[in-house]
Homo-oligomer: A and B are copies of this chain.
Amino acid sequence: MERILEADDGDEPTPRGGRIRARNKAHIIAAAEKVFAERGYDGATTAEIAEIAGLAKSNVHYYFGTKEAIYREVIAGIVDLWLRAFGDITANDDPAVAIPAYIRQKLLYSRKRPLASRIFATEIIRGAPILRPFLELELHDWVADKARVLERWAADGKMDPVAPHHFFFLIWAATQTYADFGTQVAAVLGRKRLKEEDFETAIETVTQIVMKGCGIRR
C-alpha cells in the first residue's frame, strides 16, 4: 500500500525527526484536506493551504516539494483510514450482525470525515490518476474476498443470492452519498446542515432496505 501511494521516498532521503516537523506537516495535511475537498485538485492553491495551516507559503514548500506531493499524502491518509476503519467481514460472521455494523460504520464515517470522502470521490471522478493502483489491487482483492463470503452465506441460506460486487457498490454509494452529496441531501430535507437524527434515519433506512432486500433475517 504505502509503496504504491506514498510519494517517492527519494523526496526525503533521511526521514528527519523533529517535533516541529511532525506538527507542521499535520497542520498542512489538515488544511490541505479542507482546501482540496472544497476546491478540487486544480482549484486548490498552495497559498490557501498555507494560510489555513498558519504558515508561510514558502514554508509549506519546505515540507512538501510540490502541490502534488501534498495531495498524494492526503490521499494516502484517506486510503489508510479506509483500510483500517472498517471491521472485517468473514464467513464465520453472522450477516445479521456484520452487515448492519458495516453500514453503520460507513455512514458514521460519512458523518465524521466528510472531507475525506469528498476528496476520494473527486479523485475517482477525475479518473483516479493517483488511486488507480489501490482500486485495482487492494480494493479489487478485498471485494473478491468478500464476494466469497457472501456466496458462502447464500449457500448456507443465510441470505439471498445477490451479485456480490454490486451489493457493495450499493452500500458504498448509499452511505457515501451522505458525505459527498451532503449539500443535496440537506437541501432536499430543507435543512441547512444535516443533523444527528438525519444520520440515524439514514442508517435505519439503508439498513432496513438492504437487510430485507437481501433476505437476511435479523
Q: Which residues of A contact B (CB under 8 A)?
A: 37-43, 118, 121-122, 124-128, 132, 135-136, 139-140, 143, 160, 162-163, 165-170, 172-174, 176-178, 180-181, 183-185, 187-190, 201-202, 204-206, 208-215
Contact = CB atoms under 8 A, between A and B. Distances in A.
9 contacts: A37-B125, A40-B126, A125-B181, A139-B184, A162-B205, A163-B205, A170-B206, A213-B213, A213-B214
A187 B38 contact: no
A160 B213 CA distance: 12
B121 A188 contact: no
Contacts of A127: 38, 183
Contact of A43 (B42, B140, B166, B178): B42
Contact of A126 (B38, B126, B185, B204): B38
A131 B135 CA distance: 31
Given A118-B125, A140-B187, A187-B139, A166 B206 contact: yes
Given A125-B118, A173-B177, A184-B135, A208 B38 contact: no
Contacts of A126: 38-40
Contact of A165 (B143, B183, B189, B212): B189
Contacts of A118: 125
A159 B37 CA distance: 39
B162 A209 contact: yes
Contacts of A205: 162-163, 166-167, 170
Interface centre among A38, A124, A188 (most CB of B within 10 A): A188
Given A42-B43, A187-B128, A172 B166 contact: no
Given A40-B42, A125-B121, A181 B188 contact: no
A176 B211 CA distance: 21
A43 B211 CA distance: 41
A40 B41 contact: yes
Contacts of A209: 162, 167, 170, 209-210, 213-214
